[in-house]
Amino acid sequence: MSEEMPRFEQSPGHGESVPLANYAYLEYLLEVAEEKIEWLERDELTGLKVDKIIRNELDSRVEKASRTGGEFVLIIGDVDNMKAANTEFGHYLGGDALLKAVGRSCREGDLIGRAGGDELWWIADLKPRKEYHPHRPLHVRRDSLEDVAAKLAEVFEKRANSEIKKLGLDVPVGFSAGFALYRPEDSSGTMIDRASRAMLARKTKNKEKRSSMERHPANYRTDQE
């Protein structure tokens, strides 16, 4: 059977004949390509942005802030004792479940990504809260940017730990977060270094707290985090 020849139409203003375009099919191909790109940009396990995307975004934020000014924070969070969860329950019910739980703790629309292993990054814009004083002509800052950044890191950590508790894993796991507020002299590397060191310090503090709770459970309320 001979192949069907493509149909042709006259192109306006020209004497050449061109194949008829199937615009619906072209739109379908574009949608598939966009979905494929979106899928490649997201971590398969958590649904968060992949390492390359979140690191590129940090580079862009630092470069833009150095030119135009800007106030943003890098928050780095890490699952505590995920190795023990993997050993006890396997990857699917242990570490994988932990990362999925932390992923659920992130607000939709926030720029959050998995930077590899059990480490997650959150890049957030900052605006200081203000308080109105009726006897003063202007609003005054109530919280410094450092205060706001610290609060965001605390919220991220609390949400993650709340989701982790719902898993009911019988191992001492948790989530620790540290932050780095952008400074004019910063590079991506210096922000990552500060946030990582703050996260490690927080992790040590949380580990000591869990150990103390195990030794002296009566000193802690059942609703205490």
The domains of the chain are located at 47-219
Q: What pLDDT does residue 68 have?
A: 87
* pTM given for the model: 0.70
Q: pLDDT higher for 156 or 217?
A: 156
Query: For 5-35, what is each residue's pLDDT tens digit?
Result: 444 444 455 555 545 556 666 665 566 555 5
Domain 47-219, CATH homologous superfamily name and number: Reverse transcriptase/Diguanylate cyclase domain (3.30.70.270)
Query: For 35-54, what is each residue's pLDDT tens digit?
Result: 544 445 677 777 788 888 89
Is residue 119's pLDDT more than 60?
A: yes
| 175 touches 162 (CB < 8 A) | no
| 54 touches 113 (CB < 8 A) | yes
Q: Residue 3 half-sphere exposure, CB side, CA atoms within 13 Å?
A: 3
